[in-house]
Structure 1
Amino acid sequence: MDYLTGFQRDLLYVIAGVDQPSGQDVMEEIEGYYTTEINHGRLYPNLDTLVNKELVEKGQLDRRTNYYAITDAGLEEIKDRQEWESQYIKT
């Protein structure tokens, strides 16, 4: 996951936690965490990057709305990241 930006990583986590969210759903979730406004020009190119890296798949809900779903490769990246983080974070 070291080849993703922090923002892309956060998008991956959001998509993994919501069942087939639309881009708008992802935006609402991520804006709840970030203190700055997230615009379409930032969101959608980063979602496309995750799709191109095959960490997320993109489908159509209707003619105007796409959904995003985590792939097995995306879940594996998240698990690997959590294992790496756990060696440094002691609870």
Structure 2
Amino acid sequence: MYDLTGFQRDLLYVTAGLEEPHGLALKEELEDYYEKEIHHGRLYPNLDTLVEKGLVEKSEKDRRTNMYSLTRRGQREIEARQKWVDQYVDQ
């Protein structure tokens, strides 16, 4: 996960946390967090990068909507990152 941008890392976490992670839902969650508009030209290329890295899997819900889900590798990366963060942050 060290080679991801902060935005890609946030996108990975949001994908993991949503019940039905599709592009618009991911966009809305990130807009709430960043408190600004996330353009499609930023969102989808970063999702594609996560897919290419084997962290997220992309599937088709219907002809207009893609769904995204964490792969096992993506889940392991999140768990490893959380373990690393826990070393430095009191809970």
**Shared fold per TM-score greater than 0.5:** yes
Gaps of 5+ in 1: none
Q: Which deviations, in whole Å up to 9, do the C-alpha atoms of 1:25-72 show, x marking residues without a partner?
A: 100111110022110000000000000001000000001110000110
Structure 2 unaligned runs (5+)?
none
CA RMSD of aligned residues (A): 0.8
2:54 counterpart of 1:51: no
Moved over 6 A (4+): none
Q: TM-score with structure 2 length normalisation?
A: 0.96
Q: Within 5 A, what are the aligned runs for 1:9-88?
A: 9-88=9-88
TM superposition shift of 1:21: 1.3
Residue pair 1:19, 1:69 contacting (<8 A) in 2 also:
no
Q: SS at 1:67's partner residue?
A: strand
Aligned residues with identical type, % of pairs: 60
2: CA distance between counterparts of 1:36 and 1:2? 25
Matched to 2:22, the amino acid is: S
